[in-house]
Amino acid sequence: MNQSQRFENWTFKACEDQEWMPAQVPGCVHTDLLRLGHIPDPFYGTNEKEVQWIDKKDWEYQTTFDVGAGLYTQDHLELVFDGLDTYADVYVNEVHVLSADNMFRVWKADVKALVKEKGNVLCVRFRSPIQEDLPKLEKLGYALPASNDQSDVGGLGDKRVSIFARKAPYHYGWDWGPRFVTSGIWREARLEGWNDVRITDVFIRQNEVNAALASLTAMVEVETSQAMDTVIRIGAAGQCWEIAAALQPGTQTVELPISIQAPKLWWSRGLGDPYRYSFAAEVLQGERALAEAEVKTGLRSIRLVRDQDEAGASFYFELNGVAVFAKGANHIPNDSFITEVTRERYLHEIISAAESNMNMLRVWGGGFYEEDVFYDLCDEYGIMVWQDFMFACSMYPGDEAFLNSVRHEAIDNVKRLRNHPSIVLWCGNNEIDSAWAHYIENGGWGWKKEYNAEQRERIWADYEAIFHHLLPEVVEAYAPGIDYWPSSPIVSLTGDEKQHAHPSTSEGDIHYWGVWHNVEPFEHYNVYVGRFMSEYGFQSFPEYKSVRTYAEEEDLALESEVMLAHQKNGAGNRLIKQYMDMYLPEPKDFPSFLYMSQVLQAEAMKTAIEAHRRRKPYCMGTLYWQMNDCWPVASWAGMDYLGRWKAMQYYAKRSFSDVLISVDGTKPDVTEVYVISDQLKKVHGQLKLRLIGFDGTVHREETYEVELAPNSGEELVSLNHAEWLQGHDPAATLLRLELSQHGEADLVQEHYFVPTKDLELKLASIKVTGGEDEQGVHLVLESDVLAKQVWISSQAEGVFSDNFFDLIPGLPVKVRFTSREALQHAGVISDPGTVEVRSMCDFIQ
């Protein structure tokens, strides 16, 4: 059987230095230096610029090791690195065994002839990614577009070299992230031994899956050192399948047909149980197992449906025959330093997504192919994954060496991830098709004007080689049955000007950034609704407690050096202020500005999400930018770097509710009320509408019967303002909507007739009482007048069942607190500690 041994007791140093220092592997130079106190905290203040010298040096890591007796006697010994970042030469006992040049690949070397039983030396020398790639830029003769590469921060002027390295693009900076160009052994390093035969991969290919039958093929990749007659056995769900296999020396794949009657299907959150099967593979001689392996997967049918219709063409995911409205966000790396992300942090993100009623995350193409634990958790919680390949917002070289590296990278990662039922799409890149806009002379981001006709054609040919040929070929060969999408956004692969997406296209997916970058009003979210909204967003600051982790009190000003250092979108702070002036009252101080920025972001995203959901089934997906942060920063995230939910996350939870009451107030003098359901059962209940004064007086009340078909939406009622208001002041009156479903929880929504900045708000006195019932501890909040955007903050880290809600006199609200620990471990008692309750009037002039 296979045996393995991890390496320990690593040391590292700059190649030019003499002194070896203790290192952690997996890790990187930056985190090792920080741990030793040799650099300041890179996330604090303006320290980012203090550590830019690191990426200009070569570094080396070294360890000595003995080989365990059982391992040493194996016929084959292989050195395996699951990840080397990025340009590295590896030596065993001073003999060069491999050179690496791609962070995303697995690197292996046969070292049987080199290792001794005791006293071996393993050395990994990393070449500076900057020094390595500057000559490539010089040789090319012109710069390739890479607009998010913050080369100026790194002291390189306009010399952007990120596109030459197969390395996480965000390491070079982004418009929400810092520039830390890392080097190091970032995934596990080990010695593997085996005799005779081993299983190197098991893929459960899903040929046809439905409620009656799962028709599968087990693809068992086997390596053997000699010819042998064997039996390959697969066990799952109490059944067994076998096939005789005459193995030949080398690597081969044995295919074994499998069928499971009436399988338990894998469903996304909200539609059913995300059930997974375990498949155990064995290579047998007689009843003796020579090699074993086990994989888990969920059985489901999945396809991207792009059918022509009157409006254009659909774009939605069909899971087990059900059209799924995708609800979620774009995921970026959880840290600038990948190895700092613990399982607990991944679990917090995925549970937060599930608790927010999401069913999809898009793994964006400027980060890295995520850790196995990320996909395992998405499988477990029923979160579908739109998986980008790691290319974003840049044009890339197309020389033979680069293409060969990309091919190996794609094969490694598609094979590693293809058993995850959560992965429903592979996408070639982020925004490159629309940024270059090859078929529209003045289209895109203006990149083409920097190049002559010959250069343009060469750059585009290189693009097509990767995204229209190489990557789809790999997906088809190694993950058959999963759709490939060449770029996000794109209309379709037409080879003419119709290919490139824009906010009004009625096919493909759309990234709509008119709100934010173009300072268009929030109301435009109702205008630009595509078939699938894969990006849109609005920024806010983290809360005061989070900001103080990187700034002192004297730094708390919008244009201070520290605030600008933690705002990577050039116009970001100005845009937040500009939109705040449009929609909200003026905050009284900077901590109040932080709160108000979160309210602003939340209102923007509510407007967008619900505009998209009201257009179901024309629109069948809404993924906002972005779920998370990689450092503490003002950004588009709904959850800050420390995992604290912003107002937007609570709003998303409400707006992503499987059954939603939504109000369209964009038409003058009319309010339209919609009910939308993503459930697979009928919605049956009553909708109560109440016109309420800010003092709690009920001016009018009406009830409507609701009967809504499964997985649908409809306009229920249109209200004439003049008739409904009956002379009551629209600035001091609200519409309260409550949907009571038989046997289900009530759904609540408030609607206002004027913008928030024009509301006649009074300072509220909010009473908070604690209580306990069969579900645990809760808080009950009551107010004497309308309290807008009630924010409950707790001493303990955790999440409330609701927050940033409106509190109406006479309508108490009960909320529960779940600590970070209790969110992840059943049975843990949640105690919020001291709580503070404030509303908007506490933060305005």
Contact 484, 472 (CB under 8 A): yes
CA torsion angle for 494, 495, 496, 499 (degrees, to 10)? 50
Smallest CA-to-CA distance from 268 within 323, 208, 216 is with 323
Please give the Cα distance from 79 to 73 (Å, whole number): 15
Say how far apart CA 678 and CA 325 lie, in whole Å. Answer: 7
CA distances from 582 to 346, 514, 521, 788 (A): 37, 16, 9, 18
Q: Which two tokens stand for residue 539?
A: 């920024």
Report the alpha-carbon distance of residue 497 to residue 499 in Å, rounded.
Answer: 5
CATH topology of domain 3-191: Jelly Rolls (2.60.120)
Q: What is the helix (H) or strand (E) element at residue 69, kind and residue range?
A: helix 69-72
Q: Say which amino acid occupies 587.
A: P
Taking a C-beta distance cutoff of 8 angstroms, is the pair 596, 580 a contact? Answer: yes
- Taking 3-state DSSP, the helix, strand and coil percentages for the chain, each rounded to the nearest 5, stand at 25, 35, 40
Is the domain spanning 762-845 CATH 2.60.40.10? The answer is yes
- In DSSP notation, 690-745 reads EEEETTS-EEEEEEEEEEE-TT-EEEEEEEEHHHHHTT--GGGEEEEEEEEETTS-
**Residues in the chain, pLDDT under 50:** none
Same fold, 196-297 and 657-760: yes
Give the residue among 96, 546, 651, 37 at the shortest CA–CA distance from 327. 651
Extents of the domains making up the chain: 3-191, 196-297, 657-760, 762-845
d(CA 621, CA 177) in angstroms, rounded, equals: 26
| Cβ-Cβ contacts under 8 Å for 445 (sequence gap 6 or more) | 145, 147, 435, 436, 437
With beta carbons less than 8 A apart as the criterion, state whether 630 and 180 touch. Answer: no
The CA-CA-CA angle for residues 5, 110, 131, to 5°, reads 95
Bond into 480 cis (ω within 30): no
With a pLDDT cut of 90, the percent of the chain lying above it is 94
Cα–Cα distance, 317 to 305 (Å, whole number)? 6
Angle ∠(604,672,745) on CA atoms, nearest 5: 75
pLDDT tens digits for range 263-283: 999 999 999 999 999 999 999
**CA–CA separation, 350 vs 828, rounded Å?**
19
Write down the pLDDT at residue 746: 83
Residues 714-746, buried b or exposed e (16+ Cβ, 10 A)? Answer: eebeebebeebbeebeeebbbbbbbbebeeeee
Count CB neighbours of 513 within 10 A.
16
**CA distances from residue 303 to 209, 316, 677 in whole angstroms, order as listed:** 12, 8, 21
3-class DSSP state of 477? helix
pLDDT digit string (tens) for 183-241?
A: 999 999 999 999 999 999 999 999 999 999 999 999 999 999 999 999 999 999 999 99
Here the tokens at position 149 are 């590469």
> Residue 65: in which H helix or E strand, if any?
strand 59-65
The verdict on whether omega for the bond into residue 26 sits within 30 degrees of 0, i.e. cis, is yes
Asked if residue 128 lies in contact with residue 88, where contact means CB atoms within 8 angstroms, the answer is: no
Architecture of domain 196-297: Sandwich (2.60)
Long-range contacts of 551-554 (CB under 8 A, 24+ apart): 551/45, 552/45
Please give the Cα distance from 298 to 311 (Å, whole number): 35
pTM summary value: 0.97
For residue 51, which of 69, 28, 71, 20 has the smallest C-alpha distance? 28
| Burial tier of 249 (Cβ tally within 10 Å: 0-12, 13-18, 19+) | exposed
Q: Which CATH architecture best describes the domain 657-760?
A: Sandwich (2.60)
